[in-house]
Chains A and B, each alone.
Chain A
Amino acid sequence: MPTAFQRIYTKLEEITKATCTVRATDVGYEELATVNGQLAQVVKIMGDEVTLQVFAGTEGVPTDAEVVFLGKAPSLKVSEALAGRFFNAYGDPIDGGPKVEGDEQEIGGPSVNPVRRKQPSELITTGIAGIDLNNTLVTGQKIPFFADPDQPFNQVMATVALRTAADRIVLGGIGLTNDDYLYFKSVFENAGALHRIVSFVNTTEDPTVERLLVPDMALTAAEYFAVEKKEKVLVLLTDMTLYADALSIVSNRMDQIPSKDSMPGSLYSDLAKLYEKAVQFDDGGSITIVAVTTLSGGDITHAIPDNTGYITEGQLFLRRDTDIGKVIVDPFRSLSRLKQLVIGKKTREDHPQVMNAAVRLYADAANARTKLENGFELTDYDERTLEFAREYSDKLLAIDVNIDTDKMLDTAWQLFAAHFSKAEVGIKQSLTDQYWPENQ
């Protein structure tokens, strides 16, 4: 592989689990190299001592390993030919197809000038009422699913991806199990959507540290389609908790002092650098990021979900509703911060009020349930809220719902009319006059 102009070194000074050090000159920071044929990146330079992080780990690397500097930072060749293809963390095809030719772009490039951004204002519909009705998504938004590992977040993500009107979908699989990787692949193939999709996948079979490249690869591809092709790009990143875990492994190997929950002190900046790639451009192109952050026992105060929550524009919680035996999008803990920019403006005028009324009545039902569990007697109103809650869960919150937003609003009105009086629902008179179903 080495060519005439590459510098080759064969004497390693130091080897640790993830890094090795070699004496070399004229090496650039963050430059790529190969060590014993494995890809590595410069993470520290002290005089002529260059420390390299070997992505695949240093197992079996001898002190006389061949170190070849490649003279460039990690990069991806971008072109239309990326579409429909599956790549590993280095951007090499894993689907048996040919290498992609195109413009070579360094990954992890500069951020967008904030004054050149546009305020996000375009609705994204998913058909899932728990999202479209209560936590409406907007292009240019970044939002994670906060989910326990046993929840079907990958299925929901795949559904969201296929139902949205995105021009392009970029999947960044970070430590996917092989089963989930094959699941995504078959879902996309069966839906006939492969031509819209670009995938970068690191599975649990691959070295951990390689994962660090996946989000940047995915976002570099996304930027190409959003900037050059002015497309609406949806980026799926699953699972960002494994990304953060890989960060902590590297910082540990670099002898850095850990902060909360053994995470590196730079976790916030590291995550923000990725999530802030979500953007609405002036000319119509956009990058929207839907990610997954798995929780440990639902604990959102852990450093990973906590830092994520401060960066992203809301979060979506999945929960199993035992009353109906289905997974729903939790209306209490989920939040889309950007929904205010579109609901009632890009959707029907009654959207904000219907959404709030339904969630309020659902909260009343939760109170009634507490009363019931504590052995207090239920009033007639309590009974009705419980009935309402069951139907609301089943017909709207469940993730298997697939209807358009107007139909969601109509369904909500029907549930209101079936269980409550107009005064109990408490929606503005003018809207009730227009939308309240009379023949019930």
Chain B
Amino acid sequence: MTATQQHTTGRVNGIISNLVLVEVDGPVGQNEICFIQHGETSLMAEVIKVMGDKAYVQVFESTRGLRPGMEVRFEGHMLEATFGPGILSCNYDGLMHDLSTMSGIFLQRGDYTSALDLEKEWAFEPLAKAGDEATAAHWLGQVDENGIAHKIMVPFKMKGRYTIAEVMPAGNYKVQDTIAVLKDERGTEYKVSMLQKFPVKQAVKAYREKPRPFQLLETGVRTIDTLNPMVEGGTGFIPGPFGSGKTVLQHAISKQAEADIVIVAACGERANEVVDLFVEFPELEDPWTGRKLMERTTIIANTSNMPVAAREASVYTAMSIAEYYRSMGLKVLLLADSTSRWAQALREMSNRMEELPGPDAFPMDLPAIVSNFYARAGYVYLNNGKTGSITFIGTVSPAGGNLKEPVTESTKKVARCFYALSQSRADSKRYPAIDPIESYSKYLEYPELQRVLNEQIEEGWTEKVNELKNILLRGKEAAEQINILGDDGVSIDTHLVFWRSEVVDEIILQQNAFDEVDARTPMDRQQFLVNKVLEVVATPLSFEGYEEINPYFKRVINAMKQMNYSEFESDAFNQNMKELEDTLAERKQAN
């Protein structure tokens, strides 16, 4: 946007793993991007510390073969994401290079592909007109991107007020063509295209205000929606040891959630899991629009074998893309698997820079970094009065499954929903293994959300949810008593308390992610189920001895399970409901 500036250059002076020391001949900025010339290829790196005329840069690639004396060229800007139509359905690496246009089977160093297809033409439709006032993120026009109205905005970097001098008429344009001309107060003209860039580590603040979130974000996962609901613009995290079903749960949320856009940051995880997404998402349908899931999804794949520094960048890249789409007034869901790998990347660099370590050798500022990142999510009123949101859910992979470790603890301070995956639930195949007693959603305490739930679902909904939680808690206590005292050492009532909580557990909490019907439960069906379960639990039953209780409740649970596996209100569903009613009638007390 400004006149050509003088680029600082430098020479490599030292190398330790992917940390490179560069002697510079001019000014450099913290987090500035530079390229190290290594023969034919240039390797991207980021400044992370400056001492006198020496800049410490972390290289986003393998540093094998680098030597002192190699030339370095500084770019004068930080790591930037590229925005424009064509991001959806793309698979990027952590630095937002398109993986599918890279050549060869193996990732070659310095193979930096464009994030957007620069040749593709988009049907532009103006929304603003000459003479309008505009600030950053003002909607100038829109194009259709996979059925979503992709707004073309005043670049986020443009500070201050502008007058629109010209907006191009409707027609086909490439992303770098000028689609509008803006004029600042001094009359200087700026050409604007559909492509803009913005630093990934800076939050986009071009909105009017950020209220407390108050809208339910439906995921179709009962133990989340009913018991510990996520909200539009909310934050949550899922910690769990390996094998407890983190990834299956995240995939379920990404497939089913009520969002316009889903961004998945596969951050330092298994490549074969990302391949699952690549294979499944183009086939599966979005339950909300009937389009293919891939059309609303962007995957940032920085798998565990890809360079560590790029892994750190990948979560920021994903958040930046989310902010871009939120500015269009869309509901964005951002999932990061796993934020622990990101924290480990920070640890590796901090270690190489010989910083004094914090707990478990993580950098001291880890809690601050985590909280700043989570704070970028949220529900916003845009400057034009429309709303948009970023809901962020991150997984955490605690070392040794121990939740008292720095990443889990830092995250717990900032994320408002906590979905604790329990090893014992996973071992007994109670999936999703979210512990109903440990987990929480702080949003459930927000009067704003309570009001919305009461209106959208039914009056008194939150009381019912709390009742379910009480039943589960009492059931847990009863189970402990039975374990200690033996089956015949406790009263029949204690057995009933236990089995009633089992009904809640088996019917509401447990859900088969691989069953076509059971995988996703819409909110109206969850409402029905909660009422039905509460009715079953409240039914007074009479038994002669404790031996009768176990087989009886197994029948009750089986009938209700079959209901969960059948289409809502189908013949099979009604038949199983009849069976449930009959079973209940057998033991119902006559009072």
Contact = CB atoms under 8 A, between A and B. Distances in A.
Interface of A: 25-31, 43-48, 73, 106, 109-120, 140-141, 227, 256-260, 265-266, 268-269, 272-273, 276-277, 279, 281, 301-303, 306-307, 309-311, 313-314, 332, 335, 338, 340, 376
A265 B348 contact: yes
B270 A313 contact: yes
A28 B66 contact: yes
Given A111-B306, A114-B274, A45 B106 contact: no
A259 B268 CA distance: 18
B102 A273 contact: no
B16 A44 contact: yes
Nearest to B21: A46
B360 interface: yes
Contact of B272 (A43, A265, A272, A338): A338
Nearest to A223: B106
Interface in B359-376: 360-362
Nearest to A254: B16
A30 B397 CA distance: 31
A118 B243 CA distance: 23
Contacts, number: 160
B399 to A, nearest CB: 5
Contacts of A116: 104-105
A111 to B, nearest CB: 4
Interface in B275-334: 275-276, 278-279, 301, 303-306, 308
Residue from B68, B301, B361 having most chain A Cβ neighbours under 10 A: B68
Given A114-B278, A260-B360, A268-B341, A303 B67 contact: no
Contacts of A272: 268, 304-305
Most chain A CB within 10 A, of B16, B271, B279, B303, is at B271
24 contacts: A26-B68, A29-B15, A45-B16, A46-B13, A47-B13, A73-B65, A111-B305, A113-B102, A114-B301, A114-B303, A115-B278, A115-B301, A116-B104, A117-B275, A227-B105, A257-B351, A257-B357, A266-B344, A266-B348, A268-B268, A268-B344, A303-B400, A309-B243, A340-B514
Nearest to A71: B65
B486 to A, nearest CB: 7
A141 B275 CA distance: 13
Interface in B93-150: 99-100, 102, 104-109
A26 B13 CA distance: 11
Most B Cβ at <10 Å: residue of A141, A260, A340: A260
Given A119-B272, A276-B304, A26 B69 contact: yes
B76 interface: no
A196 B497 CA distance: 62
A260 B351 contact: no
Given A45-B15, A114-B303, A266-B348, A306 B399 contact: yes
B454 interface: no
Contact of B64 (A29, A118, A120, A310): A29
Given A113-B107, A118-B275, A302 B361 contact: no
A123 to B, nearest CB: 16
B176 interface: no
Interface of B: 13-16, 21, 62-69, 91, 99-100, 102, 104-109, 241-243, 268, 270-272, 274-276, 278-279, 301, 303-306, 308, 341, 344-345, 347-348, 351, 357, 360-362, 397, 399-402, 427, 486, 514
A119 B14 contact: no
A276 B271 contact: yes
A109 B66 CA distance: 15
B57 to A, nearest CB: 14
A30 B64 contact: yes
Contacts of A335: 243
Contacts of A31: 65
B270 A276 contact: yes
A48, A106, A260, A310: which has the most chain B beta carbons within 10 Å? A310
A118 B276 CA distance: 9
Contacts of B360: 259-260
Given A113-B106, A257-B351, A313 B272 contact: yes
A310 B305 contact: no
B543 to A, nearest CB: 19
A286 to B, nearest CB: 12
Contacts of A115: 91, 99-100, 278, 301
B406 to A, nearest CB: 10
B308 A269 contact: yes
B104 to A, nearest CB: 7
A interface majority secondary structure:
loop
A119 B276 contact: yes
Given A115-B99, A269-B344, A73 B104 contact: no
A324 B317 CA distance: 56
Contacts of A276: 270-271, 303-305
A257 B399 CA distance: 17
A120 B308 CA distance: 25
Nearest to B16: A44
B304 A119 contact: no
Contact of A258 (B14, B106, B361): B361
B106 A111 contact: yes
A140 B276 CA distance: 13
Contact of A113 (B63, B68, B105, B397): B105
B275 A114 contact: yes
B427 A332 contact: yes
A301 B397 CA distance: 12
Given A258-B361, A269-B344, A303-B399, A117 B272 contact: yes
Contacts of B397: 310
B563 to A, nearest CB: 18
Contacts of A303: 399-400
A109 B275 contact: no
Contacts of A47: 13-14, 68
Which of A265, A276, A309: most chain B Cβ within 10 A? A265
A114 B68 contact: no
Contacts of A111: 106-107, 271, 303, 305-306
A260 B400 contact: yes
A309 B242 contact: yes
Nearest to B360: A259
B400 A302 contact: yes
A114 B91 CA distance: 9
Most central of A106, A114, A272, A301 by chain B CB within 10 Å: A114
Contacts of B66: 28-29
Contacts of B15: 29, 44-45
Contacts of A266: 308, 344, 348, 351
B104 A265 contact: no
A234 B401 CA distance: 31
A115 B66 CA distance: 28
Given A110-B108, A258-B361, A269 B348 contact: yes
Given A110-B107, A117-B275, 15 more contacts: A27-B67, A43-B16, A110-B108, A114-B271, A268-B344, A269-B348, A272-B305, A276-B305, A301-B400, A303-B399, A306-B399, A310-B397, A311-B304, A313-B270, A338-B272
A311 B270 contact: yes
Contacts of B402: 301
Contacts of B279: 119
Contacts of A227: 105
Most buried by B among A110, A273, A311, A314: A110
A278 to B, nearest CB: 8
A259 B304 contact: no
Contact of A28 (B64, B241, B341): B64
A113 B113 CA distance: 13
